[in-house]
Amino acid sequence: MAYEIIDEIKREEITIEDVVQSTFENINKTEHKLHSFVNLYRTEALEKAKKLDNKLKNNEPVGDLYGLPLGVKDLICIKNKPVTCASNILEGFKPPYNATVITKLIEKSDGICIGSTNMDEFAMGSSTENSCYGETYNPWNLSCVPGGSSGGSGASVSGGQVLAALGSDTGGSIRCPASYCGVTGLKPTYGRVSRYGLIAYANSLDQIGPLTKCVYDAALLMELMAGFDEKDSTSVNLSVENYTKDLKNSIEGRKIGIPLEFFEKGLDKSVKTKVNDGIKILENLGAESVEMSFPHLEYTIPTYYLIAMSEASSNLARYDGLRYGKGPSDLSGDIFDVFSRTRGEQFGKEVRKRIIMGTYALSAGYYDMFYMKALKARTLIKNDFKKAFERCDVIVSPTMPTTAFKVGELIDDPLKMYLMDILTCPVNLAGLPAISIPCGFDNKDLPIGFQIIGNYFEEKTILNFGFELEQKLDIYKRSPPVIGGK
């Protein structure tokens, strides 16, 4: 676990240089099978390791992530390092500044960025198959997808390459790979973590969060990355709680909401069984289940995709092939020819499709019919949660309706892939926090995710419930076959 490594380093039982060396050895052994990374920073990481080792020798104060190697999704800006959102249109782009999360975790807390992780282009997808670098593979079964869009981060943690990685979640992109790869993934409340330096997909939905091996590590990272940031006007000015301290609070007498619609059609039998077993564990720990209805769940997918695509079409308008990236391959014709040719060539198919659909939904004449309607449905979904939280402390459900599917299986059936997001997207539409933790395996030995949704800024509560469940289940230390586990 990350916290154990940090403790060992601080007790001088191991040097940071050794930790970074062995991280790259592990990556060397598995990267050709997983393809989790799009860039690796071995030289810089080792240099930083040596510098950090000296801090302890010289009795200087050290940060809370002291020497911890981290993977960073390829849409979070790191000063002077390439960031591409797994898109050809951003090839060669190097931001001149750090995202706030990088400042907090790498600069201030002494973490070490060892590379950027693969993802679906501009975070559009649930499988990490829409990447200009090619797909990433699931450590539990290399013929399956790791989930998306933060699939590189999920696979790198699950496959033992790093103990923690950053992802972003617009409609489930942290929780989906956490579920499919058998790791912990937390999507914070909208506004809890600064989005400064996160390249936007759909800015009213996006949040950065951690993917880790255990709940304690997620709490640790959250404690360090959350908080108000004047550079992000949507970040909320509210003090950050001490998440690691409250993990072991008793959940006796607390109420778990069971939204019946989340357990209905489309669920794998094994997913339903394991999630119900998880609920029983929470009940045995003294929590009380309350059944509830979530009448507007059926509107989730059209609502989410209309809003996400509309915002994306506007956000992605800035990629004109001139301001960022390698530029146009051909300058013939007027500015509009260059603009549309470059975008046509350098954006992938899924991104082009979503820009077109989003532009359509926002266009005069259709705006009221599509975009406005989606905003209204978003309010209905928000209100379903509001009502639900009057009766319970957390809401639980499966994270994904199924376990990981095969690479290529859904690539020609985008609608089916969109429908997979039914249980994660409502959380983003409402702006709530949610965590996914592994709760078992199906008969093909693929991990199943258990989702715990909290009320606004109740990260503490979902981490507490997640920790209690994780400790009782005791499966989080299991390793996938790719690193010798079974």
Active site residue ranges: 73, 149, 173
What single-letter amino acid sits at 231?
K
Q: Does 123 bind ligand GLN (CB under 6 A)?
A: yes
Distance CA 169, CA 180 (A): 15
Q: Does 319 bind ligand GLN (CB under 6 A)?
A: no
Q: Does 125 bind ligand GLN (CB under 6 A)?
A: yes
**Which of 109/130 has CB closer to ligand GLN?**
130
Query: How distant, in Å, are the alpha carbons of 72, 74, 204 from that of 165?
Result: 6, 11, 23
Q: How far apart are the first and last CA of the chain?
A: 19
Using CB under 6 A as the binding rule, the residues of this chain from 442 to 481 that contact ligand GLN are: none
Structural tokens at position 230: 């004047």
119-127, 223-231, 403-411, 448-456 -> range binding ligand GLN (CB under 6 A): 119-127
**Which of 23/126 has CB closer to ligand GLN?**
126
Structural tokens at position 278: 């998880």
Structural tokens at position 197: 């330096």
Are the C-beta atoms of 81 and 98 separated by less than 8 Å? no
Q: Does 207 bind ligand GLN (CB under 6 A)?
A: no
Q: Does 421 bind ligand GLN (CB under 6 A)?
A: yes
Q: Does 149 bind ligand GLN (CB under 6 A)?
A: yes
Distance CA 387, CA 44 (A): 50
- Name the helix (H) or strand (E) containing 185: strand 184-187
Q: Does 75 bind ligand GLN (CB under 6 A)?
A: no
Which residue in 39, 109, 126, 189 binds ligand GLN (CB under 6 A)?
126
Structural tokens at position 144: 């399956």
**Rounded to 5°, angle at Cα 449 from 400 and 193:** 85
Structural tokens at position 3: 């916290």
> CB nearest ligand GLN: which residue?
173
Query: How distant, in Å, are the alpha carbons of 48, 90, 232, 398, 452 from that of 278?
Result: 42, 43, 37, 10, 11
**Which of 161/173 has CB closer to ligand GLN?**
173
**Which of 164/423 has CB closer to ligand GLN?**
423
**How far apart are CB 123 and ligand GLN at their closest, in Å?**
4
Count CB-CB contacts under 10 A for residue 40. Answer: 18
118-126, 158-166, 324-332, 405-413 -> range binding ligand GLN (CB under 6 A): 118-126
**Which of 99/279 has CB closer to ligand GLN?**
99
Distance CA 328, CA 342 (A): 5
Q: Does 431 bind ligand GLN (CB under 6 A)?
A: no
Beta strands in 45-136 (DSSP E): 69-73, 112-117
Structural tokens at position 64: 């809370």
From the list 374, 96, 358, the residue with the least C-alpha distance to 201 is 358
Bridge partner residues of 73 (DSSP): 117
Beta strands in 188-285 (DSSP E): 207-212, 255-259
Q: Does 301 bind ligand GLN (CB under 6 A)?
A: no
Helix, strand, or coil (residue 486) = coil
Distance CA 445, CA 344 (A): 41
**Which of 74/421 has CB closer to ligand GLN?**
421
Are the C-beta atoms of 227 and 213 separated by less than 8 Å? no
Tell me the per-residue interface mask from 152 to 191 with ligand GLN, x by CB under 6 A, - otherwise: -----------------xxxxx------------------
Q: Does 201 bind ligand GLN (CB under 6 A)?
A: yes
**How far apart are CB 232 and ligand GLN at their closest, in Å?**
18
Q: Does 70 bind ligand GLN (CB under 6 A)?
A: no
**Which of 171/454 has CB closer to ligand GLN?**
171
**Which of 36/126 has CB closer to ligand GLN?**
126
Are the C-beta atoms of 480 and 182 separated by less than 8 Å? yes
From the list 339, 358, 390, 351, the residue with the least C-alpha distance to 122 is 351
**Which of 173/194 has CB closer to ligand GLN?**
173
SS3 content of the chain, % helix, strand, coil (to 5): 45, 15, 40
Q: Rounded to 5 degrees, what are φ and ψ at 394?
A: -140, 160
Binding residues for ligand GLN, rule CB under 6 A, total 13
Footprint of ligand GLN (CB under 6 A): 123-126, 149, 169-173, 201, 308, 421
